[in-house]
Amino acid sequence: MSKLSGGALHAVFAPVDNLARVDAVVRRLGDAIELGLLADGEQLPGETELATRLGVSTVTLREALMALRQQGLVTTRRGRGGGSFVTTPGQPRASRLADWSTEELRDLADHWSAVSGTAARLAAERTEPEDLGALLRSLDEYEAEADPTARGRIYGRINVELAAAAQSARLTKEEIRIQADLGPLICLALGDDDHHPAVAQLHRALLRAVLDGDSEQSRSLAERRVQDAMERLVELRLTDSG
């Protein structure tokens, strides 16, 4: 069963808006699976329903599902109880820190900070405490998780859930795209167990601000959280090149 809220799931299954429709569906669903937004073993909606929700033909959807099966991200079972099921990979797609310049990382930090800060501000203004259940569960999982790779996936899910709480489909889809690009790198930034409690503490402070309806504090803490993660990546990048 999916751990995402309705708003986040809506963004995952919203109509694609790319002319290369097969590639767009593969990217959308592949990113969601890689990030752990769709749970391992979770059954996808039926082909007709999923094609309708994504705004594509069933032929396009079947081609996309075939590509996802070839990537090992989807398993299809036939017969009673059959369908397409998510297969979460053991490791996120490889992304070498050396492929990013420090300027690119800082530019991405600016973009991510703007998206995350705006999402946090709107979440504080628009959401109700009872709508934050999925985000609370993700925070609990993050604090309890010992494996850096799993922590990285949960971290990505927390960011998506925060954007979903802003009740903005565009912000949520943009956050998914950012997390898909950053996922493997975030695992590096979160790999230091000594740093884990500080990240968890900042998450909790951000959630409290959202629950309190403090929009400016929520924005500030969201931007600080992004800058903290990206500064660690820049430091790692400089160390690697040294």
162-221 residue pLDDT tens? 999 999 989 998 998 888 878 777 777 776 666 678 888 999 999 999 999 999 999 999
Would you call 17 helix, strand, or coil by DSSP? Answer: coil
Cα 21 to chain center, whole Å? 21
Q: Is 183 exposed, middle or buried (0-12, 13-18, 19+ CB in 10 A)?
A: buried
| Model confidence, pTM | 0.73
DSSP state of 92: P
**Could you tell me the mean pLDDT of each successive run of 10 residues in the chain, 242 residues long?**
71 72 88 82 92 91 93 87 84 65 90 96 93 89 85 87 92 89 75 74 94 96 92 83 57
**CB 48, CB 58: distance < 8 Å:** yes
Please say whether the beta carbons of 124 and 69 come within 8 A: no
CA distances from 63 to 42, 82, 166 (A): 20, 18, 33
Q: How far is CA 160 from each of CA 33, 37, 51, 112, rounded to the nearest angstrom? A: 13, 8, 23, 12
Domain boundaries, the chain: 6-86, 97-241
Strand bridging mode 74-77 / 83-86: antiparallel
What topology is assigned to 97-241 in CATH? Answer: Four Helix Bundle (Hemerythrin (Met), subunit A) (1.20.120)
Q: For the structural domain made of 6-86, what CATH number should be given?
A: 1.10.10.10
Instruction: Give whole-number Cα distances, 110 to 115, 162, 190, in Å.
Output: 9, 18, 19
233: its two tokens? 């990546």
CB contact at 8 A, 50 and 13: yes
